[in-house]
């Protein structure tokens, strides 16, 4: 059976051009001569319209690059949710997916040009120059999920961190908390060998300064974004001798560690220190107290990445786009806002 790729090769045009011609896309601007070459090639190769549906179920192949290892995914299910939704969306659209775990230090995959598109999931600190070069050499459409590397012409699917911080801090302000600290991990740009500021921390500082209540002594940032780091940083905050009334913590795993440290020192949450996390880890609602957290819709991020790459492959779009996915604040007990009225009145 002839494939779209066979027609594209014989006619000397792109796969996207063949797809749009055979689908009679009236918005597609193309010369009659080129259109005739495509139709003639399809006829010579005995390509039948009835075969398109079968081809769409198996023709397009996506390479998914995961900039972390399996142990990191087990420790924090955030990227697991992104990855499983990429796979589910691709399956529902008849697209084939090949996954490749590519943490720092791992050799980048070869022959990326054998795929029709590339989805990269991870963070800036794991985006190496070697991997960037391999993606560039492939000359394939690429979508970056959850981070914004400087890659000309690429597509991006990212969370709306500015809205997340405005929404979260606005809620804390509404509860009367003016002294708010920040706990987070450190990011590092492997390409340029320099530290970078997480966007949550960046917008936290901007918002707090505009309100006139930014206190740099309440900022604790170091290490990886994991439970043990949250515990260690909260230990430092307690040892400093003066705690803010509330903390925003960069992710829920760190928040779990931070709450454990407070509990070990007999400091009550939220009666003495309120805590708000980020990501809405499945365990967040089962903690004591249940964790208030900013939910990033990472399931939608995974699905939009697949839809975006498929659209680009079929249309041949050359200009990159950025899709910003919204978030939801899950209000629970750890910041006091969802406590029974009598208990909340004693804060």
Judgement on whether residues 155 and 195 belong to the same structural domain of the protein: no
Judgement on whether residues 265 and 249 belong to the same structural domain of the protein: yes
Judgement on whether residues 79 and 29 belong to the same structural domain of the protein: no
Angstrom distance (rounded) from CA 172 to CA 174? 5
Judgement on whether residues 83 and 188 belong to the same structural domain of the protein: no
**Contact between 112 and 329 (Cβ < 8 Å):** no
Judgement on whether residues 49 and 95 belong to the same structural domain of the protein: no
Judgement on whether residues 77 and 146 belong to the same structural domain of the protein: yes
Judgement on whether residues 105 and 148 belong to the same structural domain of the protein: yes
Q: How confident is the model at residue 336 (pLDDT cuts 50, 70, 90)?
A: confident
CA distances (Å), 44 to each of 31, 54, 173, in order? 20, 20, 70
Angstrom distance (rounded) from CA 347 to CA 341? 10
Beta partners for residue 66, in sequence order: 101, 121
Domain boundary among 41, 56, 71: 56
- Residue 119 maps to which CATH number? 3.40.50.2300
Higher local confidence (pLDDT), 210 or 57: 210
Judgement on whether residues 85 and 20 belong to the same structural domain of the protein: no
Residues with Cβ within 8 Å of 167's Cβ and at least 6 positions away in sequence, in order, are 294, 327, 329
Q: How confident is the model at residue 54 (pLDDT cuts 50, 70, 90)?
A: very low
Cis-peptide into 289, omega within 30 deg: yes
Judgement on whether residues 219 and 334 belong to the same structural domain of the protein: yes
The whole-chain average pLDDT of the chain stands at 88
**Contact between 176 and 339 (Cβ < 8 Å):** no
| Parent domain of 35 | 4-56
pLDDT in tens, 167-198: 999 999 999 999 999 999 987 766 666 777 89
pLDDT at 17: 81
Lowest mean pLDDT of 27-31, 112-116, 301-305, 321-325, name the range: 27-31
Judgement on whether residues 24 and 109 belong to the same structural domain of the protein: no
- Residue 13 maps to which CATH number? 1.10.260
CA distances (Å), 252 to each of 67, 87, 235, 249, in order? 20, 25, 17, 7
Judgement on whether residues 277 and 174 belong to the same structural domain of the protein: yes
Token pair recorded at residue 343: 């208990």
What is the spatial order of strands in the sheet that 246-249 belongs to?
219-221, 180-184, 246-249, 274-278, 292-296, 327-330
Judgement on whether residues 203 and 122 belong to the same structural domain of the protein: no
Domain count, the chain: 3
């Amino acid at each position: 059976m002839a494939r779209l790729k066979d027609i594209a090769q014989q006619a000397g045009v792109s796969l996207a051009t063949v797809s749009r011609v055979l689908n009679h896309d009236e918005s597609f601007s193309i010369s009659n001569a080129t259109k005739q070459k495509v139709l003639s090639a399809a006829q010579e190769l005995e390509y039948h319209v009835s075969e398109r549906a079968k081809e769409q179920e198996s023709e397009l192949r996506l390479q998914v690059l995961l900039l972390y290892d399996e142990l990191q995914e087990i420790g924090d299910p955030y990227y697991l949710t992104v990855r499983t939704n990429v796979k589910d969306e691709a399956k529902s659209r008849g697209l084939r997916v090949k996954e490749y775990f590519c943490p720092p230090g791992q050799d980048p995959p070869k022959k990326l040009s054998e795929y029709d598109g590339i989805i990269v999931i991870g963070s800036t600190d794991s985006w190496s120059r070697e991997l960037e070069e391999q993606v560039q050499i492939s000359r394939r459409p690429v979508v970056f999920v959850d981070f914004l590397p400087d890659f000309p012409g690429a597509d991006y699917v990212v969370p709306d961190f500015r809205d997340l911080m405005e929404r979260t801090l606005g809620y804390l302000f509404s509860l009367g908390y003016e002294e708010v600290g920040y706990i987070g991990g450190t990011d590092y740009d492997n390409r340029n060998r320099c530290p970078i500021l997480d966007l949550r921390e960046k917008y936290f500082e901007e918002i707090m300064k505009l309100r006139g209540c930014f206190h740099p002594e309440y900022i604790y940032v170091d290490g990886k974004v994991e439970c043990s780091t949250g515990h260690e940083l909260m230990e430092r905050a307690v040892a400093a001798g003066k705690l803010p009334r509330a903390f925003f913590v960069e992710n829920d795993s760190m928040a779990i560690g931070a709450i454990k440290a407070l509990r070990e020192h007999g400091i009550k949450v939220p009666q003495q220190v309120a805590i708000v996390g980020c990501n809405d880890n499945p365990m967040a609602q089962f903690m004591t107290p249940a964790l208030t957290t900013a939910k990033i819709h990472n399931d939608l991020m995974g699905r939009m990445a697949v839809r975006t790459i498929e659209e680009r492959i079929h249309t041949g779009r050359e200009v990159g786009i950025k899709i910003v996915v919204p978030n939801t604040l899950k209000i629970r007990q750890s910041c006091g806002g969802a406590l029974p009225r009598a208990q909340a009145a004693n804060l």
